Structure 1
């Protein structure tokens, strides 16, 4: 289910997935299939890790990357979950053929 909320989505981002919801900053983004696919990839990742462990692992990896790169955006883009989502967001059929725990290949 997709919701529009400029308050839930952090500043500097256009969307966020918190299973089972996708929050987008603006209504016009609902028509952007690439953004929707990116967020659906995150929903799949969250399901695979049973939701709460996903967020724990995400934060641990983000902190590690932030210490490694000393740059917020670089750390964010190098989290394995984000690397998979960005790499495959334009492939609108990716989720049909995605291997279980596909994000591990992006570690």
Structure 2
């Protein structure tokens, strides 16, 4: 994992993004936010499981489906299976050590 801090690489409402193998953060203080970092590490694991390219394809397709379903960008984003898993487990700091392979499917 390579951490980059650059407030200009992210859109206005984003504070960080996982783009394997990088974590791009808007502020240095986010490096010490354990919950936030765990959320982003969960995304890195998801990306590795789907060989990176398939993660982004799945993420994009599921976002479009959720957007059609909810007609709201934020609600669509929060209901993507990858995001549902990451938000549900971000406070469980030991989650990645016990996380089953492809468990994001249970969040569909």
Taking structure 2 as the reference length, what is the TM-score of the superposition?
0.96
Match of 2:16 in 1: 15
> RMSD value over aligned CA atoms?
0.7
Match of 2:64 in 1: 63
Q: After superposing the two structures, state which structure 1 stretch, 79-88 or 11-20, moved more.
A: 11-20
Distance between the aligned counterparts of 2:12 and 2:65, measured in 1? 22
Q: For residue 3 of structure 1, give the secondary structure of its aligned residue in structure 2.
A: strand
Match of 1:78 in 2: 79
Distance between the aligned counterparts of 1:54 and 1:11, measured in 2? 24
Match of 1:44 in 2: 45
Q: For residue 51 of structure 2, give the secondary structure of its aligned residue in structure 1.
A: coil
Aligned residues: 107
Structure 1 gap segments, 5+ residues each? none
CA deviation map 1:2-48 (0-9, x unaligned): 11111222221111000011011111111101010000000000000
Structure 2 gap segments, 5+ residues each? none
Q: After superposing the two structures, state which structure 1 stretch, 61-70 or 8-17, moved more.
A: 8-17
Q: For residue 17 of structure 2, give the secondary structure of its aligned residue in structure 1.
A: strand
